[in-house]
Structure 1
Amino acid sequence: MTGVVVTGGASGIGRACAQALIDDGRSVALWDVSESVTDVAASLGMSAVVVDVTDAAAVAAAVDASVAALGGVDGLVHAAGVVSVDPIGALSAELWDKVLDVNLRAHALISQALLPSLREAAGAAIVGISSIEGLQGNGAIPAYCASKAGLLGLTRSMAHQLAADGIRVNAICPGYIETPMIAPALGVPDLRTKFEKRSPLGRLGQPADVANAAVFLLGPKAAFITGAYLVVDGGATAVDPV
């Protein structure tokens, strides 16, 4: 094995994925638009790249740096993501594009940029972080829902194409996970309790819950799994919310 690129590695699910991969004996390159990723990577003993994943030239440079640092790349976790509350009727084209560019377009372009290294590796795998919002509707965040649903379609398409190269492609659909992205919502009175009640397990998910799924999908125990998505939501989408 060589190493795994984890986008959004400065916090939340991305950081948890990096930690879980390291615990599993993998080397990791953390990418993030925030300069804090440098300190996070240093604390984990891994390499970091400050990069805007929507900038094709910056992504190409980040790939070169990470391949050099890791001695090759055999895995990708695209955990970088943004959300914007812009319902139809108050939609901003600029924010729509930003959400789609980070959450969806970047996943395709990063995978493409890493393809030469992934093709050289044995057991290479890609994991995209989608969401339960890609499976069900939320009227407040149409761009986010569209990006996460689109990522599932992209996952199936890439799985079909890249199977010939021995590269598996899967996705994870997290539910209500306690991350910086969801923190503003958790500050709304009673909303934390509502989220907790949505899950039959009676709690919010933690980033490590998603990270453990990512380690599985990237590893040899998932060798016959591709083009699939794994829902990590404590059962929230499996039951009637009423």
Structure 2
Amino acid sequence: MSDAGRLAGRAAIVTGASSGMGRAITALFAAEGARVLAVSRGGGADGHPAITPFAADIAAPDAAGRIVAAARDAFGGIDILVNAAGLFEMAPVEQIDRGHWDRTFATNVTGPVELCLKAIPSLKASGAGRIINIGSVCVRLTNPGFAAYNASKHALTGFTLNLAIELGRHGITANMIQPGTILTPMTQPFVEDPAMLRYFEGKTAVRRLGEAGEIARAALYLADPQAGYTTGQTIQVDGGYSVGINDSGLEA
């Protein structure tokens, strides 16, 4: 049976929509019938009639209000919010400075939090509002140099849990997707070296990197109006990386 049209009549905001997971989510939502405000710093044209590009840096103080106002103007309301924009900068713990920390949290925590808060009235009016925040497998298994990024994803996860328990009575669900190593422009530098590619592939049960479309399909499930009993959850889309079954280097 075809799943086409699962989001028919729904209006969505997706941040980080110009590349990687955000772009894949935007495209899939539009294909499934949603109208999407595709937010990115460049705000480039997409060409799909259901997608409205919008230029904004979610780390900017006025971004959340402008984004929500644009979605209301374009669609009349908001049913789905996906916070997919993210910033990753490596730094060892002893080399973290205030600028590095503040940049990471402005994009990965403060921006998404403010966007959720601005969108809540419209999500309440929807009757089946959906908040989907993109986290990281790093909250379970981190790596050296990931401290600020890891901390920011922990913070967003904690906030999402409170969204779930406080907004559920309004028909709003709030969930996290925690990707593993997904092949995107953000991860490309890590896997250009064949040795590093083998390393990351070897850490998964399925022995490959993930694809952005696999994150999009998880987001589609959570965005579906029929998914109203799934809230306050984290969905690991990591190929088995977080299970840790391959850390010993042993093969079955």
Question: Scaled by the length of structure 1, what TM-score is found?
Answer: 0.94
C-alpha separation in 1, matches of 2:140 and 2:104: 17
Matched residue, 2:183: 178
1:26-37 alignment, distance < 5 Å: 26-33=34-41, 35=42, 37=43
CA displacement at 1:164 relative to structure 2: 2.1
The equivalent of 2:196 in structure 1 is 191
- Distance in structure 1 (CA, Å) of the matches to 2:65 and 2:211: 32
Is 1:167 the counterpart of 2:175 in the alignment? no
Tell me how far apart the structure 2 counterparts of residues 44 and 144 of structure 1 sit (CA, whole Å). Answer: 35
Please give the alpha-carbon distance, in whole angstroms, between the structure 1 residues aligned to 2:158 and 2:80. 20
3-state SS of paired residue (1:173): strand
* CA deviation after TM superposition for structure 1 residue 74, in Å: 0.6
SS at match of 1:56: coil
Cα deviation, residue 150, structure 1: 1.3
CA shift, 1:214, in A, is 0.4
Question: Which residue in the other structure is 2:243 paired with?
Answer: 238
Alignment of 1:112-151 (within 5 A): 112-151=117-156
For each residue in 1:7-27, what CA deviation from the matched residue of structure 2 results, as whole angstroms up to 9, or x when unmatched?
Answer: 000000000000111121111
Which of 32, 49, 52 is residue 54 of structure 2 equivalent to? 49
Moved over 3 A (4+): none
Distance 1:173 1:76 in 2: 16
Q: Please name the residue that 1:201 is paired with.
A: 206
- 1:31 aligns to what SS in structure 2? strand
Counterpart code for 1:3: A
2:243 and 2:226 map into 1 onto residues whose CA distance is 25
* Deviation of the 1:221 alpha carbon: 3.5
Question: Which amino acid letter does the alignment assign opposite residue 30 of structure 2?
Answer: I
- Structure 2: how far apart are the matches of 1:56 and 1:163? 28
SS of 1:13's partner is helix
Asked if 1 retains the 8 angstrom alpha-carbon contact of 2:92 and 2:147, the reply is yes
Q: Distance in 1 between matches of 2:182 and 2:21?
A: 8
Q: For the Cα contact (< 8 Å) 2:14–2:82, is it kept in 1?
A: yes
Separation in structure 2 between the aligned mates of residue 122 and residue 43 of structure 1, nearest angstrom: 27
Unmatched runs of 5 consecutive residues or more in structure 2: 1-8
Q: Which moved more, 1:54-63 or 1:7-16?
A: 54-63
Contact 2:34 2:50 in 1 (8 A): no
Distance in 2 of aligned mates of 1:235 and 1:71: 40
Matched-pair contact (CA < 8 Å) for 2:36–2:50: no
The structural deviation recorded for 1:132 is 0.2
What is the identity, as a one-letter code, of the residue corresponding to 2:155?
Answer: G
Deviations 1:157-179 (A, max 9, x none): 11111112211000000001000
Q: CA deviation at 1:52?
A: 1.2
* Equivalent pair of 2:101/2:148 in contact (CA under 8 Å): yes
Aligned match of 1:67 in 41, 60, 72? 72
Instruction: Look up the match of 2:44.
Output: 38
Q: Distance in 2 between matches of 1:225 and 1:195?
A: 30
Q: Note closer, same or farther for the CA distance 1:140–1:149 as it changes in structure 2 (3 Å cut).
A: same
CA RMSD of aligned residues (A): 1.3
SS in 2 for 1:133: helix
Q: Is 2:26 the counterpart of 1:21? A: no
Question: 1:8 maps to which residue?
Answer: 16
Residue 105 (structure 2) aligns with: 100
Tell me which protein shows more helix as a share of its residues: 1
Figure out how many residues of one structure are paired with residues of the other and give that number.
Answer: 239
